[in-house]
Structure formats: C-alpha cells, structure tokens
A and B are shown apart, each in its own frame.
Chain A
C-alpha cells in the first residue's frame, strides 16, 4: 500500500526535479539578485540592497520607462499586423486553387529561417552599401546613402517590416490549422440561407478561430516583448535608444555594464508585467469559454 502511494511521486519526481532546476531555481536566483547590489567589476560595493534597485528603476531611471513604453508599442504594432496579415494569408491558402501547395510552402518558409539569419538578410537589405537603396540609386531612382536603420524617423518602420516577414507565417500556420477543422456544413447552410462571404467570415470563421487567436496572440505578445535577437542585431537598440526594448535594456545593463543586480531588478519587473498581462488577457478574452 505504502509502495503504491509512493510510486506516483517517484514517477513525477524527474519532471519535478527538472522544473525545480531549470525553472524555479533560475527565477528565484533572479529575484535574489534583484535585491542585491551585484556588479562583478565593483566587488567592493556588492551587498544587500533591499528595494534600492526597484526604487531606482521606478523613480530615477527614465530609460526604464522609455524602454518599457517602446516595448508596449512594439508588441502592439507587431502582434496586430502579424495577426491581420497572418489571418489574410491563412484564408487565402485555405481556398482551393492551382498552385496552393506551393503557395503554402512559400507563405510558411520565413518561419523556417533562423532568427539570426533573418536579421542578417535584413541588415544586408537595409545597408546603404550592399542593400536595395544602393541598387535603386545606381538606377537613378533615388539618392545614394539612404539608411533606414540610421534615421530615427524610419528605424521603427524598418524594424517592424523585418519582424513582420518572420512573424506573419506563425499566425498563418496556426490559423490555417484551425481553419481546417471548421465544419463545412455550417458554411453550406449559411450559403443556402444567402449569407454573404463577409457575413460567413464574421459569424462562422471568426468565432471558430477565437481560441486559436487568443492563444497565438498571447504567445506572440510574450515573444515579441522578449524579442532580443532581431532588434539587437538589426539596430542594437539605437540609434540613440530609439529601438531599445526592456529586454535590450536589461542586456545592456547586465551583460555590458556588468550590473547584474540592477539587471535582475529590471528582469523581475518585466516578469511581473508579463504575468499580470497574461492573466488579465486570458480573463478579459474569456479564453476557453463556449461561444
């Protein structure tokens, strides 16, 4: 009897140990360091900080608020545009037409390209020496030297386009998969009743996709909020902090300035913001509720 009671615990023990080691410990470690002054280049100043780091980020660090504001803007614009374009593409490649298989492959292909390679491609495309603007200038269509990543007025749009190229297929794949399970009879019945294409979309397709949209947008919001690879390689957060997201700011404080205490406080703040956002989003969107 005792053995029968122990067995389930033993069976889940490896998973539990892995979660403790790879999830709980790192998170607890970050929270611990957020309460410390910990800078490897200044060991003489290290020690317990209490809430000093949080006080600094809330009241004395305009860059925290600036990078948080930029992160929110980045997530809102990216996720909205990716969802709209992804939904449009999913609807198109869900139809029956000649060359559908090839179209689907082309639509999904950017998702198969690694993040670093994607940014490498876009860095070259935007580079005034090697990129598109150079060739357009050679043809006399524009002036030499246009550098969208160097101009604060264009850098945001340029980065958004690069990330869209990578992010749209994610929504297209997920939404197409869900579209495949939509009941054909509903569409047939609606057609018989004279419902237009638009009406069918809003009354059948969209309600059917609701949970997939909520889950994919939530995932994408978290991923875009934590996006480091594309912006770090493309702009480095610049020029002049114009594209610095909160994770990029964490990277510059912790990895470059070696201030791991303050970097941990920023990370803890980001974690709390994302947790609060995720709970609120799932509650407000009534995820999983029957339509």
Chain B
C-alpha cells in the first residue's frame, strides 16, 4: 500500500509542479520578448492580414515575437470579460469603441495618450476618430491606438439595377420605390433584407435616424429621441417591408444569414457597413456589387450613425507594455495601416494613408469618404460610452424588435421602452460623471 501511496503523491505533486511551470513560463528569454496579441475579429478574412503585419513587425523588431490568437468577433467581448475576471489577458489586443467603455470600467486598459504624444504617429491620427475614441470613456483619455473606422452603407446589385433600368436611390422615397420594383417572389428575388437577429438594433437605428433626419440620440434634457414621432413613423415604414419586399427568414437574420442571402443572389439591397466588401466581391464579383450611402431624408438631411472605431489596446495587467505599444504603433503606421484598411475594406485612421491610390480606386471607400467629408452630413453619435448600451440593445431590444417585425408589438410601444432605458442609463451616467 505504501509504494502505491508514494506513487500517487508523487504523481499529484508532479502534476502540480508541471502546472506551476507552464503558468509561469518565461516570455522574455535570451533578450527576446514574446507578447500575446488577441485579434478580436479572427477569421479567414482578417487573420491573414494580421499575420502579414506580425511578420513585418518581427522583421523590423527581431527581438520581439508576437503570439497571435484569433477570436471570433461574436465571442471577443466575452473572452475579454472572462480573462479580466479570471486572469489570462493578453499584452495587446484588438478592441473597438463598442467595447471600450466596458473594458475601461473594469480598468483593463492602459491610457496611451503619453505614449502617442511621444510617438511618430503624433498628429497623424484622424482627429475625428481620436475625438470619438476619447468621447467613449468618462475620463476622456485615449485607451486604444485607432486603426480604422467604418461607415454604414447599403450594398446593392448593380446588375439588377441596370436590368430594371433604375439608378441607385439617393433618398428614402426612391429607396422604397426601388426595392418594391426589384422584388419578384416567384423568382426568389427580394428588394431588401432586414437584419432582425443578432446586431439588428444599430442597423434599425440607422434606418430610423436616416429617415427622420434627427441628429442627436439625446435631447438637451437628456431624454432619448428614439421614440420621437418621426422615428416611430420610420419604424412603422421599415416593419411594413417585412415579408412584403424581404424574405420571411429576416426576423432571425444575423450577419452570416444576411450575407448568405445577399451573396446567394436573392437580395437587391443589403444594409451593413464597409467591412463586408470582400465577402460580396469574392462571391458576386466586383462588377455586380457597389455601395451607396444611407439615403437622405426627404427633407434633404443626410444623417448617418457613428460607427465603432477599431484599434489596438494595451492591457494594464501586461508586463511588457513597451513591446505591446511598439506593436500597436507599428500596426497603425502608414504602410501597415494602409494594408490593413485596403484588405479589410475600411477607412484608415492614419491620415497619411488618405492619399493612397487604392482609396480613390475603391468605389465603396470613395463613396464613404465623400459622405463623411461632406460638411452637410450629420453624424448621429451612438452612446457607446453608456456601460448599459450593449445590454440594452442586444439582450433587451433585439427580441422586442423581432416582435415589432412579427406584428406582435406596436412600433411606438417598442420605441417608448427603448427610449426609457436609454434615458435612464444617460441620467445615471450624468450623475456619475457630472
């Protein structure tokens, strides 16, 4: 019995020691530093882009190795939250302004203002992008190195429009006429697709504020404008499209299902953002798809929603912050930022990239730049700074929006509830931050 006990004890101790060893493995040995990078949107489209950037970085900095970990975008926030609670955060990771308030509330990120001020990128990051990043957090600091921003666009089938002899709509009236004309259910063709599943609320808000021409989410008293009668009318119009000019499956449409329908050749117009360009071009062909801006309201106002800024955060718990920032700085440099933005189809944050040839040649990027640079364009700032914003929009409002589409809840009731939640969150935010 005694040898058996001794063996069991030795095995347990051995396991314990092994576990301790792997937990504290050195990542700076022989003058070489290893940093871990979490890509918050890992997948076949973006992973190769990061691998290229990492390869170039390691060539330029042979003493720093970057360990890449790709995380699917739907799980990124959850992975970060779990790592904050239980340990295991990376040194550096992809973040967006949509998750920034949450991460900063948990004191997970390092402010980068001083480091950026001393870096070669000082003064080269788009001012509007930097303002958005700072406005997302209560203390107004820069908690990420901005890489790119995005813009909501409507992707449309140029060949269908040509076939029907109509031009890309510029106003909402033209939009509604076009999608009706392009619907032919007997041929499994629909004029439009509504995102009714995961991620629906931001796109719904873009349609509402785009139609109503309202330019602020909160009025000066702090009351949410989402249930303004003009927005209610706009939602009634949108919900009225369901099953009339859109597929029935739209009520549960997430990004993947929505793109599958559009790229599968059943949809004339799909609302998303610049980021899905590569998927459409690969499946439909570059000549059959183009982007148009959010249509103007009938009063002539071009209202667009602010889109999350993507970038790289340096984690406060990391022990290799210098190397981590060096990587973030390198990724945002002109050559890398240009590569990143071109390959992922987004708007670069580094202003030095603005003059690159590919920006003028890419129709969707040129269209987005035209709208963003038009002084008449009104950007409705999404309240990403509210810590409750994600929970309100995703867990509470998405199922209720489905009820509106299914005719189980009036548009006004839904928007009144949405408005009450936003107003309450805004009041609490003001109370906390003055």
Whether, in the assembled complex, B162 has its beta carbon less than 8 Å from a beta carbon of chain A, the answer is no
Residues of B near A137 (CB, < 8 A) are 188
- In the complex, the answer to whether B403 meets A145 with C-beta atoms within 8 Å is no
User: B185, A145: Cβ atoms under 8 Å?
Assistant: yes
Query: Given A137-B188, A258-B391, are A239 and B406 also a contact pair (CB < 8 Å)?
Result: yes
The reply to whether B394 and A239 contact each other, CB–CB distance below 8 Å, is no
A129–B399 alpha-carbon span in the complex (Å): 23
| Contact in complex: A150, B388 (CB < 8 Å) | no
The residue in chain A whose Cβ has the minimal distance to the Cβ of B252 is A150
Assembly CA distance A10 to B7 (angstroms): 13
Q: Which of A134, A235, A259 contacts B252 (CB 8 A)?
A: A235
A window 138-153: CB within 8 A of B: 143-147, 149-152
- A128 CB-CB contact with B under 8 Å: yes
Candidate in A147, A149, A152, A255 with the most chain B CB atoms within 10 angstroms: A147
Name 8 extra pairs, CB < 8 A, besides A239-B399, A240-B251, A252-B395.
A129-B249, A134-B188, A137-B188, A145-B188, A239-B251, A256-B395, A257-B395, A258-B81
Which residues of chain B in 355-411 are interfacial with respect to chain A, using CB atoms and an 8 Å cutoff? 387-388, 390-391, 394-396, 399-400, 402-403, 406, 408
Docked-complex contact A239 and B105, CB < 8 angstroms: no
The closest CB in chain A to the CB of B108 belongs to A40
Chain B residues 74 to 99 lying within 8 A of chain A, measured CB to CB, are: 78, 81, 84-85
- Residue of B84, B197, B266, B396 near A238 (CB, 8 A) is B197
Question: Which residues of B are found within 8 Å of A43, using beta-carbon distances?
Answer: 105-106
Closest 5 CB pairs of A and B: A147-B249, A257-B391, A144-B188, A240-B402, A41-B387
Contact in complex: B106, A41 (CB < 8 Å): yes
Question: Are B252 and A238 in touch, CB under 8 angstroms?
Answer: yes
Question: Is B222's beta carbon under 8 Å from chain A?
Answer: no
Q: Quick one: which of B249, B390, B400 contacts A240, CB cutoff 8 A?
A: B400
Is B60 on the interface with A (CB-CB < 8 A)? no
- A285 surroundings in chain B (CB, below 8 A): none
Shortest C-beta distance, B192 to chain A (Å), equals: 13
For B247, give its contact among A41, A147, A244, A253 (CB under 8 Å). A147
Q: Are B247 and A145 in contact (CB under 8 A)?
A: yes
B264 interface neighbour in A129, A146, A149, A259, Cβ under 8 Å: A129
Q: A41-B387, A43-B106, A255-B78 are in contact. Are A236 and B252 (CB under 8 A)?
A: yes
A122 to chain B, nearest CB (A): 14
Within 8 A of A (CB), among B247-306: 247-252, 254, 257, 260-261, 264, 266
- Kindly list chain B residues whose C-beta atoms are within 8 Å of the C-beta of A149: 249, 252
CB A117 to nearest CB in B, in angstroms, measures 17
Contacts A130-B260, A240-B399, A255-B78 known; A42 to B252 CB distance under 8 Å? no
> How many A-B pairs fall under 8 Å by CB?
111
Main secondary structure on A side of the interface with B: loop
Which single member of B102, B249, B264 contacts A258 (CB below 8 Å)?
B102
Cβ-based interface call for A210 (8 A): no
**Which residues of A does B touch, CB under 8 Å?**
7, 10-11, 14, 40-44, 127-130, 134, 137, 143-147, 149-152, 235-241, 244, 252-253, 255-259
Cβ–Cβ < 8 Å partners of A42 in chain B: 105, 387-388
Q: Does B432 contact A (CB under 8 A)?
A: yes
A252 to B395 CA separation, bound complex (whole angstroms): 6
Tell me, in angstroms, the Cα distance from A271 to B400 when the chains sit together: 28
- Identify the closest chain A residue to B81 (Cβ): A40
A127 near B395: Cβ-Cβ < 8 Å: no
**A236 contact set on B, CB distance < 8 A:** 197-198, 252, 254
Contact residues in A for B251 (Cβ distance below 8 Å): 150, 238-240
Q: Which residues of the partner chain B approach A7 to less than 8 Å between Cβ atoms?
A: 1, 5
CB <8 Å contact, A129 and B261 = yes
Establish whether residues A40 and B185, one from each chain, have CB atoms under 8 Å apart when the complex forms. no
Is B12 in contact with chain A by the CB < 8 A criterion? Answer: yes
CB neighbours of B210 from chain A (8 A):
none
CB nearest to B247 among chain A residues: A145
Partner of A41, one of B105, B260, B261: B105
Q: Kindly state the separation between the CA atoms of A150 and B257 in the bound complex, as whole angstroms.
A: 12
> Could you tell me the distance between the alpha carbons of A130 and B259 in the complex, rounded to whole angstroms?
13
Contact among B257, B394, B403 for A256, CB-based, below 8 A: B394
> Do B432 and A150 have beta carbons less than 8 Å apart?
no
Q: Which residues of A contact B335 (CB under 8 A)?
A: none
Please indicate the chain B residues that have their CB under 8 angstroms from the CB of A146 in the complex: 248
Can you report 25 residue pairs joining A to B where beta carbons are below 8 Å apart?
Answer: A10-B5, A11-B5, A14-B8, A41-B388, A41-B390, A42-B105, A42-B387, A43-B106, A127-B257, A129-B249, A129-B260, A129-B261, A146-B248, A150-B248, A150-B251, A151-B248, A239-B196, A239-B251, A239-B252, A239-B402, A239-B406, A240-B400, A240-B406, A257-B390, A258-B102
A152 B406 Cβ-Cβ under 8 A:
yes
Max chain B CB contacts within 10 Å: which of A41, A130, A237?
A: A41
Whether the pair A145, B248 counts as a contact (CB closer than 8 A) is yes
How many Å from the CB of A243 to the closest CB on chain B? 10
Q: Is the CB of B196 within 8 A of A41?
A: no
| A146 to B251 alpha-carbon distance, docked (Å) | 12
Closest A residue to B5 by CB, please name it. Answer: A10
Per the bound structure, the CA–CA distance linking A270 and B395 in Å amounts to: 20
CB-based contact B391/A259 at 8 Å: yes
Chain B residues whose C-beta falls within 8 Å of the C-beta of A10 in the assembled complex: 5
Please give, as numbers and ranges, the residues of chain A lying within 8 Å of B388 by CB-CB distance.
41-42
What is the bound-complex CA distance between A132 and B403, given in angstroms?
26
**Residue numbers in B under 8 Å from A239 (CB-CB):** 196, 251-252, 399, 402, 406
What CA separation (Å) do A42 and B138 show in the bound complex? 13
Q: Is the CB of A253 within 8 A of B395?
A: yes
A249 to chain B, nearest CB (A): 9
* Whole-angstrom CA separation of A36 from B210 in the bound complex: 42
Given A41-B105, A41-B391, A151-B248, A240 and B408 contact (CB-CB distance below 8 Å) = yes
Q: Tell me which of B85, B260, B394, B395 contacts A40 (CB under 8 A).
A: B85
